[in-house]
């Protein structure tokens, strides 16, 4: 249970992220497949301009994640467990073979479109670092109004959380958080209030669309965003992917459960190293690396060594 593949979500995107993927037949194949399903050249989706749309962001992140996961498997590095942050969960589910890449591409595109249409303006997300949840909860409850709702959403580390809701509401909370000693309290470049109850209608639409897709039992444990439990059946994964967008991502607990299940090496798919940094923070004794920073070769070497050391 030693090797974990992690798939990043919105926030990790960067221009040319698909062009910058390692040259490898598995990448070519994945990009081709994506373009076929989308009926467009996927390589048009990672320009700075194109990434202004959350649809392009989500699909590009998803495709990049799966492409590199396939490369690693072809190079002899297979994951024993998977987890993905927000849209990254789709990459995790495909890698666990719960649904096919093609089925997932359409779903991710739909997810992005539904999100984009629902809240075009005045809503967003913020990030707060250096504050206890109890304290932040107090702030958020005090600032909450029906016209300007705000919610605590993702729990990424013990004192690192996101908030989602109306921009005005977020502004209020960020200001108070700064006053009360948060080391960081700022807006995220996301124009949708993800991972809270405001997204319920979208998650329900998504779930209806997913009814016709057959979900298989995953070949390896997939850690759910909503519950931080290891899921071993297709039905639960379908629910997690559909409703995940309307519930907080319990990322910190997910990493803890992975560690308890025996994770020795966390490998983060590109782009960037957001999840690697978080894992390193909470589990400095386990190895974490990102393909973006360390490259494929190092990842393969370290994975090989970990496999050999198992049992020692």
Partner 1 sequence: MTKIYREKRSWKTRRDRKAKRIEQLERIAKGKMIPTEKIVEALEAVIFPGDRVVIEGNNQKQASFLSKALSQVRSEKVNELHIIMSSVSRPEHLDLFEKGIARKIDFSYAGPQSLRMSQMLEDGKLVVGEIHTYLELYGRLFIDLTPSVALVAADKADMSGNLYTGPNTEETPTLVEATAFRDGIVIAQVNELTDKLPRVDIPGSWIDFIVVADHPYELEPLFTRDPRLITEIQILMAMMVIKGIYERHNIQSLNHGIGFNTAAIELLLPTYGESLGLKGKICKHWVLNPHPTLIPAIETGWVESIHCFGGEVGMEKYIAARPDIFFTGKDGSLRSNRTLSQVAGQYAVDLFIGSTLQIDKDGNSSTVTNGRLAGFGGAPNMGHDPRGRRHSSPAWLDMITSDHPAAKGRKLVVQMVETFQKGNRPVFVESLDAIEVSRSARLATTPIMIYGDDVTHIVTEEGIAYLYKASSLEERRQAIAAIAGVTPIGLERDPKKTEQLRRDGVVVFPEDLGIRRTDAQRSLLAAKSIEELVEWSEGLYEPPDRFRSW
List of residues contacting partner 1 (CB under 8 A): 1, 130, 132, 158-159, 227-229, 253, 256-257, 260-262, 311-312
Give min distance, CB of 310 to partner 1, in A.
10
Query: Which CB sits closer to partner 1, 37 or 228?
Result: 228
HSE (side-chain half, CA atoms, 13 Å) at 60: 30
- Identified catalytic residue from 12, 85, 98, 195: 195
- Identified catalytic residue from 12, 60, 86, 98: 86
Contact assessment for residue 41 and residue 56, using Cβ atoms and an 8 Å cutoff: no
Query: Which CB sits closer to partner 1, 186 or 233?
Result: 233
Give min distance, CB of 21 to partner 1, in A.
33
Query: Which CB sits closer to partner 1, 263 or 303?
Result: 263
Contact assessment for residue 231 and residue 216, using Cβ atoms and an 8 Å cutoff: no
Is 195 an active-site residue? yes
Is 189 an active-site residue? no
Q: What secondary structure, in 3-state letters, does 97-151 show?
A: CCCCHHHHHHHHHHHHHHHHHHCCCCEEEEEEECCCHHHHHHHHHHHCCCCCCEE
What lies within 8 Å, CB to CB, of 41 at 6+ separation is: 35
Distance CA 74, CA 305 (A): 17
Give min distance, CB of 256 to partner 1, in A.
5
Query: Which CB sits closer to partner 1, 205 or 229?
Result: 229
Contact assessment for residue 64 and residue 88, using Cβ atoms and an 8 Å cutoff: no
Give min distance, CB of 230 to partner 1, in A.
8
List residues with catalytic annotation.
Answer: 86, 195
């Amino acid at each position: 249970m030693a090797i974990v593949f992690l798939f990043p979500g919105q926030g990790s995107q960067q221009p040319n992220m698909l062009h910058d993927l390692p040259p490898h037949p598995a990448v070519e194949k994945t990009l081709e497949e994506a373009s076929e399903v989308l009926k467009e050249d996927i390589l048009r989706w990672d320009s700075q301009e194109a990434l202004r749309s959350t649809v392009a962001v989500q699909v590009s992140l998803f495709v990049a994640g799966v492409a590199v996961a396939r490369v690693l498997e072809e190079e002899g590095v297979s994951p024993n467990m998977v987890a993905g942050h927000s849209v990254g969960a789709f990459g995790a589910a495909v890698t666990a073979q719960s649904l096919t890449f093609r089925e997932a591409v359409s779903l991710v595109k739909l997810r992005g479109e539904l999100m984009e249409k629902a809240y075009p303006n005045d809503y967003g997300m913020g990030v707060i670092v250096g504050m206890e949840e109890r304290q932040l909860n107090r702030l958020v409850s005090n600032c909450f109004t029906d016209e300007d709702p705000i919610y605590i959403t993702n729990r990424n580390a013990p004192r690192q959380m996101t908030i989602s809701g109306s921009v005005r509401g977020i502004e209020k909370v960020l200001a108070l958080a700064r006053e009360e000693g948060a080391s960081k309290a700022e807006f995220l470049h996301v124009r949708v209030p993800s991972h809270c109850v405001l997204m319920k209608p979208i998650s329900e639409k998504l779930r209806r669309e997913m009814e016709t897709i057959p979900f298989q039992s995953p070949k390896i444990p997939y850690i759910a965003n909503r519950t931080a439990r290891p899921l071993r059946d297709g039905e639960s994964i379908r629910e997690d992917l559909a409703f995940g967008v309307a519930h907080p991502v319990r990322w910190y607990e997910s990493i803890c459960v992975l560690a308890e299940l025996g994770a020795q090496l966390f490998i983060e798919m590109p782009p960037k190293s957001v999840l690697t940094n978080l894992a390193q923070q909470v589990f400095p004794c386990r190895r974490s690396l990102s393909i973006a920073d360390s490259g494929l070769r190092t990842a393969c070497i370290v994975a090989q060594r970990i496999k050999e050391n198992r049992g020692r």
